[in-house]
């Protein structure tokens, strides 16, 4: 805008542009972390609208787009999808030739017999001229009493037919209700970092089963793991589990090779090859500094190739065939991308060539040419599915009420499988990020393409549904990272800085409803990571829909003091820390202050940062002493730096960590989380925000003890520290 407040000659009319932005859910202003309103630049709004397929760089184009907003629903006989809460009502518009009669029926997902008739309502809407044709609107009410599920609407008028999806979702997810009667607790961990003496240098699905059985026997109700989404099909692979290639399928890196039944039938020479590969990478288990995903994955792929070509029994082949049939075209397309990506770099022109897209003659030629490689990648997903099923079975057998709780990343990498196979429902030319906040005043660009709200709806939300149903197939719960993204996302146009973005709204009623539906069907609890900047009503809305929130001890404050435990939310997972903070031992010692100083991430002196951190700790120690969880002389001395004793007097570091968890047990929160790193004394952070791999080995730190020596699952049963913390949490919750 011009400094005088008059319209800049190069920009369209401000009011017209705002009307169009409002019509498409593009925010023209937002409240920042500083609590102040901020305006979005007109050029940014125009770029975001362009990503939505709406040209808006002239007044004439805006006026045409506004007219199209009004007419677009009239061009359809039926909306592509109708989402309604069970027991609620919804009106469905059916557009037909003006004066013609119409009929609307619902065909239920799992019920044979006659379609259910919808009743037309006595609602008159003036007809519209749609491209020279007088078009009327008949309004029908969704039949009451429909069961939960994915149903189909059928409309008919004068021999013209149309159909759309009808999704009946829970008004409230009930899977967490039993936790209100008896609260639960569980372990949270980064699976890749948790190794046993049988691991191939990386934690795997068999290690997950062992950890679940071990903690379940000590009273745990779940194990929450990092996103297990698939990364690249061949090394090198992206270390961050939050920048995957797909959110629907899983990473073969986590496969335990020896657990595949066909290994028993390998010929001696091939079996010897597998054993040699295993011996080579098992030595990496003893590296306590950094995980080596690429070496491990290369060795596993060689072994898995041998097992893929081993003859399967008729029963095993039938199980594989059934898995492929259930997974459908989504698995086929992901396997095709994987087969192509084995030999092509992410920047290869093929990925952006419309002649090579899915469904094109060239694309289908590639599918035929790469049939065996596609078969291999489909098989890998079957093995992942089997081993995840085994882990969940082990968890439930150990007495866990939930079992494995998966983590769902916000999005996928720009050069990912989903970006290629789902390009029709993703917005081009923009990526997801976050506006400036107190931790990063330049904003963030996560290089992840967002869902296109309208195109996702036009697809009947099938890609969203398929992703959720696959992740929840063998799960007792799901943590949704940045759950606020189901309400709105910060879009950063290509070429803009992360601070020059805009919020784009999503149909949260539909997305949260579908999330609740798939979780209800799977019997899974949903935990929303609802930290950060959000509109105040969002948390209340999520709670009303049965979605649990997230409370982190160090972030829960009442002004300058820690929030009393009684005032925590009931419908939440409460934990001491998160993977973006150091383990509690390191946090108490202020290791993160020294690390950020060393990496040049502080905006003030290290001494000032450390003084503020120690003041925060002292307030927390005061609360612990006040509650009788620490002796009066415990935790009073501030450490001088990394490695300093975080607890003075009769209070040890371990005692403080135990006291912090006992404090959380005094909250009404239905779930309590215990980080595995806190149970073994690990001090190193898994992810240091604001850094690259050159500065810090994010997502590559193996589980270790206070000295950084590797800790194996085999060591946990005999670990006094591990057993003491888990016993303390279990006892505190029972009390």
**DSSP output for 138-163:** EEEEPPTTPPSEEEEEEEEETTEEEE
- pTM for this predicted structure: 0.95
**Length of the chain counted residue by residue:** 735
Task: Return the number of other C-beta atoms located less than 10 Å from residue 113's C-beta.
Answer: 7
DSSP 204: -
Question: Is 120 in the same domain as 261?
Answer: no
pLDDT the model gives residue 193: 98
Q: Looking at residue 638, what is its pLDDT?
A: 43
Question: How many Å apart are CA 452 and CA 649, to the nearest integer?
Answer: 58
**Residue range 590-608: mean pLDDT, rounded:** 92
Average pLDDT over residues 35-58: 96
pLDDT at 622 over 80: yes
The answer on 135 and 268 residing in a single domain is: no
Helix, coil or strand: residue 491: strand
Last residue of a domain, one of 145, 169, 193: 169
**Is residue 613 predicted with pLDDT exceeding 50?**
yes
| pLDDT score at 9 | 53
Least Cα distance to 547 among 483, 463, 453 occurs for: 483
Of 169, 200, 230, which one is at a domain's C-terminal end? 169
Q: In this structure, are residues 644 and 156 in contact, taking their beta carbons and an 8 Å threshold?
A: no
233 and 163 assigned to the same domain: no
157 and 265 share one domain: no
pLDDT of residue 684: 96
* Residue 21 placed within a domain: no
Q: What is the mean pLDDT of the chain?
A: 94
Which residue from 259, 258, 299 is spatially nearest to 280, judged by alpha carbons? 299
Please, what is the Cα angle at 101 between 95 and 105, to 5 degrees? 75
Find out whether the peptide bond into 592 is cis, omega within 30 degrees of 0: no
Are 288 and 379 found together in one domain? yes
Residue appearing with tokens 């630049």: 41
Q: Is residue 588 part of a domain?
A: no
Domain harbouring 559, CATH code: 3.20.20.80
Is 14 domain-assigned? no
The verdict on 112 and 239 lying in the same domain is: no
pLDDT average, residue stretch 508-520 = 98
- Kindly list the distances between the CA atom of residue 502 and the CA atoms of 55, 70, 315, 484, in Å, as whole numbers in the listed order: 16, 24, 53, 15
| Shared-domain flag, residues 415 and 314 | yes
Map tokens 């997801």 to a residue: 432
Smallest CA-to-CA distance from 504 within 36, 53, 105, 11 is with 53
Q: Point out the domain boundary residue: 134, 169, 204.
A: 169
pLDDT in tens, 1-40: 333 344 555 678 999 999 999 999 999 999 888 888 999 9
**Cα 503 from chain centroid (whole Å):** 19
For the chain, what percent of residues have pLDDT higher than 90? 89
Q: In the chain, how many domains are there?
A: 2
Mean pLDDT of 267-285: 97
Query: Are residues 157 and 103 in contact, defined by beta-carbon separation less than 8 angstroms?
Result: yes
User: What pLDDT is attached to residue 112?
Assistant: 67
The residue among 678, 683, 676 whose CA lies nearest residue 707 is 683
Which of 202, 194, 314 lies closest to 682 in space, CA to CA? 194
Same-domain check for residues 390 and 470: yes
Beta carbons within 8 Å of 580's beta carbon, 6+ residues apart: 685, 687, 689
Contact between residue 554 and residue 587 where contact means Cβ atoms under 8 Å apart: yes
- What is the mean predicted confidence (pLDDT) over 549-555? 96
476: Cα separation from own chain's centroid: 15
pLDDT of 602 reads 87
Range of the domain at 117: 87-169
Residue pLDDT, tens place only, 364-407: 999 999 999 999 999 999 999 999 999 999 999 999 999 999 99
Q: Where residue 135 sits, what CATH number does that domain have?
A: 2.60.40
Q: Is 164 found in the same domain as 193?
A: no
CA atoms within 13 A on the CB side of 235: 12
> What value does the mean pLDDT take over residues 400-429?
97
pLDDT at 591 over 90: yes
Residue 714 predicted with pLDDT over 70? yes
What average pLDDT does the segment 185-201 reach? Answer: 98
Give the tens place of pLDDT for each residue, 84-132: 999 999 999 999 999 999 999 999 997 767 899 999 999 999 999 999 9
How far is residue 479's CA from residue 118's CA, in Å, rounded to a whole number? 37
Residue 25: name the closest of 724, 633, 507, 649 by CA. 507
439 pLDDT tier (thresholds 50, 70, 90): low
Q: Quickly state the pLDDT bin for 651 (edges 50, 70, 90).
A: very low
- Does the residue 22 lie in any domain? no
Q: Residue 2 has what pLDDT?
A: 39
Say which residues have a Cβ less than 8 Å from residue 324's Cβ, sequence separation at least 6: 331, 332, 378, 382
pLDDT at 561: 96
Instruction: Kindly tell me if the per-residue pLDDT of 663 is higher than 70.
Output: yes
Q: Which of 141-155, 223-237, 483-497, 525-539 has the lowest mean pLDDT?
A: 525-539
pLDDT category of residue 617 using cuts at 50, 70 and 90 = very high
The answer to whether residues 101 and 231 belong to one domain is no
Residue 438 covered by a domain? no
The two tokens of residue 272 are 């010897």
pLDDT tens-digit map of 301-324 = 999 999 999 999 999 999 999 999
Residue 347 within any structural domain of the chain? yes
Helix axes 537-544, 508-522, angle to 10 degrees: 40
Q: What is the pLDDT of residue 603?
A: 82
What's the CA gap between 645 and 668, in Å, rounded? 32
Do 333 and 237 share a domain, yes or no? yes
Judge whether 597 and 609 are in contact, CB under 8 Å.
Answer: yes
Say whether both 136 and 198 belong to one domain: no
Query: What pLDDT shows up at residue 536?
Result: 82
Q: Which residues pair with 150 in a beta bridge?
A: 167
- Is residue 269 predicted with pLDDT exceeding 70? yes
The verdict on residue 138 lying in a domain is yes
The predicted model gives 554-582 an average pLDDT of 95
In a domain, 71, yes or no: no
Decide if pLDDT at 350 tops 50. Answer: yes
Examine the pLDDT at 643 and tell me if it is beyond 70.
no
**Could you tell me which residues come within 8 angstroms of residue 82 by beta carbon, excluding any fewer than 6 positions away?**
90, 92, 142, 153, 164, 165, 166, 167
How many CA atoms are closer than 13 Å to the CA of 95, on its beta-carbon side? 18
């Amino acid at each position: 805008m011009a400094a005088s407040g008059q319209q800049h000659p190069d920009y369209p009319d401000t009011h017209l542009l705002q009307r169009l932005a409002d019509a498409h859910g593009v925010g023209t202003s937002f409240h920042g972390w500083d609590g102040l309103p901020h305006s979005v630049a007109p050029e940014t709004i125009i770029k975001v609208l362009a990503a939505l397929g709406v040209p808006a760089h002239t007044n004439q184009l805006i006026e045409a787009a506004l007219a199209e907003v009004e007419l677009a629903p009239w061009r359809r006989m039926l909306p592509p999808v109708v989402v309604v809460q069970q027991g609620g009502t919804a009106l469905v518009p059916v557009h037909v030739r003006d004066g013609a009669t119409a009929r609307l029926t619902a065909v239920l997902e799992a019920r044979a017999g006659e379609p259910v008739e919808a009743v037309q309502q006595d609602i008159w809407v003036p007809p519209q001229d749609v491209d020279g044709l007088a078009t009327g609107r008949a309004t029908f009410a969704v039949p009451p009493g429909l069961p939960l599920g994915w149903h189909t609407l059928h409309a008919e008028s004068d021999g013209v037919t149309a159909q759309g999806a009808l999704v009946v979702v829970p008004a409230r997810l009930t899977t967490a209700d039993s936790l209100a009667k008896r609260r639960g607790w569980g372990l949270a961990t980064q699976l890749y970092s948790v190794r046993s003496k049988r691991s191939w240098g990386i934690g795997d699905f068999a290690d997950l089963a062992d950890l679940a059985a071990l903690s379940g026997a000590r009273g745990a109700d779940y194990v929450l793991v990092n996103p297990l989404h698939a990364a690249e099909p061949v090394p090198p692979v992206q270390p961050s589990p939050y920048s995957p290639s797909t959110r629907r399928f899983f990473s073969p890196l986590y496969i335990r090779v020896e657990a595949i039944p066909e290994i028993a039938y390998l010929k001696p020479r091939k079996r010897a090859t597998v054993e040699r590969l295993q011996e080579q990478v098992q030595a990496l288990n003893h590296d306590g500094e950094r995980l080596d995903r690429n070496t491990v994955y290369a060795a596993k792929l060689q072994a898995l190739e041998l097992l893929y070509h081993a003859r399967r029994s008729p029963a095993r082949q039938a199980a594989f065939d059934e898995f492929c049939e259930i997974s459908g075209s989504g698995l086929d397309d992901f396997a095709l991308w994987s087969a192509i990506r084995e030999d092509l770099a992410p920047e290869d022109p093929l990925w952006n060539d419309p002649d090579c897209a899915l469904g094109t003659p060239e694309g289908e030629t590639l599918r035929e040419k790469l049939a065996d490689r596609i078969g291999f990648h489909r098989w890998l997903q079957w093995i992942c599915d089997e081993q995840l099923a085994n882990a969940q079975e082990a968890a439930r057998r150990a007495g866990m009420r939930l079992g494995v709780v998966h983590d769902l990343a916000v999005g996928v990498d720009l050069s990912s499988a989903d970006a290629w196979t789902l390009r029709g429902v993703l917005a081009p030319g923009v990526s997801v990020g976050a506006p400036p906040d107190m931790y990063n005043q330049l904003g963030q660009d996560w290089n992840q393409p967002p869902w296109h709200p309208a195109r996702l709806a036009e697809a009947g939300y099938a890609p969203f549904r398929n992703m959720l149903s696959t992740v929840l197939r063998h799960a007792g719960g799901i943590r949704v990272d940045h759950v606020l993204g189901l309400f709105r996302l910060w879009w950063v146009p290509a070429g803009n800085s992360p601070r020059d973005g805009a919020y784009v709204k999503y149909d949260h009623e539909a997305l949260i409803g579908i999330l609740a539906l798939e979780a209800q069907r799977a019997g899974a609890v949903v935990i929303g990571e609802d930290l950060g900047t959000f509109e105040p009503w969002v948390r209340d809305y999520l709670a009303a829909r049965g979605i649990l929130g997230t409370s982190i001890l160090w972030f829960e404050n009442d002004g300058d003091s820690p929030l009393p435990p009684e005032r925590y939310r009931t419908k939440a997972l409460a934990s001491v820390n998160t993977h973006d903070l150091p383990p509690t031992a390191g946090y108490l010692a202020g290791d993160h202050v020294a690390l950020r100083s060393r990496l040049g991430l502080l905006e003030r002196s290290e001494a000032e940062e450390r003084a503020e951190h120690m003041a925060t700790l002292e307030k927390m120690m005061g609360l612990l002493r006040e509650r009788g969880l620490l002796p009066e002389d415990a935790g009073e001395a501030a450490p001088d730096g990394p490695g300093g004793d975080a607890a003075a007097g009769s209070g040890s570091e371990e005692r403080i960590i135990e006291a912090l968890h006992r404090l959380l047990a005094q909250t009404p929160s239905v779930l309590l989380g215990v980080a595995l790193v806190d149970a073994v004394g690990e001090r190193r952070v898994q992810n240091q925000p604001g850094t690259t791999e050159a500065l810090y080995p994010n997502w590559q730190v193996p589980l270790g003890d206070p000295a950084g020596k590797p800790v194996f699952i085999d060591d946990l049963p005999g670990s006094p520290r591990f057993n003491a913390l888990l016993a303390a949490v279990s006892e505190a919750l029972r009390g």
